[in-house]
Structure 1
Amino acid sequence: MTTLRQIDGAQLARYPSLEGQSVFVTGGGSGIGAAIVKAFASQGARVAFIDIAREASEALAREIEAADQPPPWWEVCDVSDIAALQAAIGRASSAIGDFSVLVNNVASDDRHAMESVTVDYWDRRMAINQRPAFFAVQAVVPGMKRRGGGSIINLGSSGWQLKEGGYPCYAIAKSSVNGLTRGLAAPLGAHRIRVNTVTPGWVMTERQLKLNLDAQSEQALREAQCLPDLLQSEDIARMVLFLASDDGAMCSAQEFKVDGGWM
């Protein structure tokens, strides 16, 4: 059984600039997304998120409210439906205000072989792993301009950079995240909207522990990383908080790796 280190949130940084800010997170109901939602809520931010998983989202919302933190706005949403995605962002904005932060987190790294990919499968993978980030940006930017600035944080992937096999469609989609970040940073920067990529290493989410980690891969990972501990979702959330806060005010068009020194 994999043992993960304990993270004491009380000892971590607090960012006063995030208190009261409106934040939108895609795929925020579980895994890395849930850790990001909880991290913003603990900073006193007003958080909205969408996810396709109703039960996990309901549990997360209850957990945040039980901690006496600002209750999140959330909806079940299939991000492959762009009209539904943008409509949800619009409803969330009406409820808690124009967003100062967007976190494009949603993704699905289902394993597949190149030979098995059909056009329909390709389109479904891109509809989850590529398209939503751009159209979420499109939906929040008018509000960010009205606010006089904002921070857009796109979640990347280490898999394609390590030349891993097993999910070519996912690798192709996630490699485009850096293009999205760098392609939008200059035009949006004129409005003081920062755009960055946060690239996680192999994070020990419940899904990864259940489906993809075994004793052999864990040993190989520990040997490849510079640091001995395995990554947790909270490690990624802390980098996201920094880039969303005023402390990251002059960071844009960059990729920030949080991988324990894996790459």
Structure 2
Amino acid sequence: MQLQGMLALITGGGHGIGRGILDRFLEEGATVVVAQRRPLPADLERHPAVQSLQADLTDAAAIPRIVDEAAERLGGLDVLVNNAGMMFERSPHELTVAEWDRMMALNLRAPMFLAQAAIPHLARRGGGSIVSIGSVEGIGTNPGHAAYSASKAGLHGLTRALAVDLGAEGIRVNAIAPGWIRTDLAQDYLAGFADPAAAVGEIEALHPLGRLGAPEDIGDAAVFLAGPQSRFVTGQTMVVDGGRTTRLPMPQR
């Protein structure tokens, strides 16, 4: 098992991509505290290797307490996974200061100060790994995503900066940039199309691998970056998108 005996804090780990990460961490032997606003599903509440910590990550003052409590419950901390985030569409003509601030508070500010609070706990265990979930929209973008794309591009930059600053303490910092992943959020978005099934088919055709991703695909990448097999990897953003951003668009023949 790649993560046997490791102690991890995963934000937003109860659903979507976070659940895919959590499931793979558990399969690989980790013990996990999940910090998120909503309660965990019943199956996770009963899991012996999972503890739940209700948390509002937009409350900057609460973040040190969240990390300290997670480390206290686990008996230490080896891995921090910054997964919790939000996305909404808003034209730059209509975006408000409050909306911008809310996006940045969860998607960019929280990962920074979760990392800051985790540093002494990770260092105490001889180092560790911070894995943040960015997005291909931190590299390219879609219409109406100015705030979201800015937050994820900032998270990729933060990843590089923290890797430089924390390497001497044995702490590695990396990010994952997922593409289209089959989550409830993606399904809700696709449901807004006149023909959701046709939209899925068109999106799948844009991927060299011919499919959308699954939460477990991101979980596999997170396991690699959290574990010892990536011991010489830091400051990187790993794109996991089935080749979507590599393939240049062309008209069909």
Fold conserved between structures, TM > 0.5: yes
Instruction: Return the letter of the residue paired with 2:230.
Output: G
* Structure 2 unaligned spans of 5+: 246-253
2:162 maps to 1:154:
no
Question: 1:124, CA displacement in angstroms?
Answer: 1.2
2:36 maps to 1:44:
no
2:52 maps to 1:74:
yes
Question: Within 2, Cα distance between the matches of 1:172 and 1:153?
Answer: 19
The residue matched to 1:106 in structure 2 has which SS? coil
Question: Alpha-carbon deviations, 1:158-189, whole Å to 9, x = none?
Answer: 12423311221111111111111111112211
2:241 maps to 1:259:
yes
2:80 maps to 1:95:
no
Which among 185, 197, 200 is matched to residue 175 of structure 2?
197
Question: Alpha-carbon deviations, 1:87-126, whole Å to 9, x = none?
Answer: 1111111111221111111111122221221111211111
**Structure 2 length normalisation: TM-score?**
0.90
Counterpart of 1:59 in structure 2 is 42
* Structure 1 unaligned spans of 5+: 1-13
Counterpart of 1:245 in structure 2 is 227
Counterpart of 1:106 in structure 2 is 84
Over the aligned positions, Cα root-mean-square deviation in angstroms equals: 1.5
Question: Within 2, Cα distance between the matches of 1:72 and 1:183?
Answer: 31
What is the number of equivalent residue pairs in this alignment? 241
- Kept in 2, the 8 Å contact 1:34–1:60? The answer is no
Which among 167, 189, 193 is matched to residue 145 of structure 2?
167
Map 1:114-193 onto structure 2 (within 5 A): 114-193=92-171
Counterpart of 2:18 in structure 1 is 33
Question: Within 1, Cα distance between the matches of 2:138 and 2:236?
Answer: 17
- Kept in 2, the 8 Å contact 1:227–1:261? The answer is yes
Which is further off, 158-167 or 78-87? 158-167
Question: 1:216, CA displacement in angstroms?
Answer: 4.1
Counterpart of 1:3 in structure 2 is none
Counterpart of 1:224 in structure 2 is 206
- Kept in 1, the 8 Å contact 2:190–2:200? The answer is no
Question: Within 2, Cα distance between the matches of 1:162 and 1:187?
Answer: 27
The residue matched to 1:116 in structure 2 has which SS? coil
Question: Within 1, Cα distance between the matches of 2:159 and 2:43?
Answer: 29
Give me the identity figure in percent: 34
Instruction: Return the letter of the residue paired with 1:61.
Output: L
Counterpart of 2:251 in structure 1 is none
Question: Alpha-carbon deviations, 1:36-95, whole Å to 9, x = none?
Answer: 1121112221101111122xx1435146x2xxxx43121221110022232111111111
The residue matched to 2:169 in structure 1 has which SS? coil
Over 3 Å counting, the alpha-carbon distance change for 1:163 and 1:93 in structure 2 is same
Question: 1:212, CA displacement in angstroms?
Answer: 3.1
The residue matched to 1:53 in structure 2 has which SS? coil
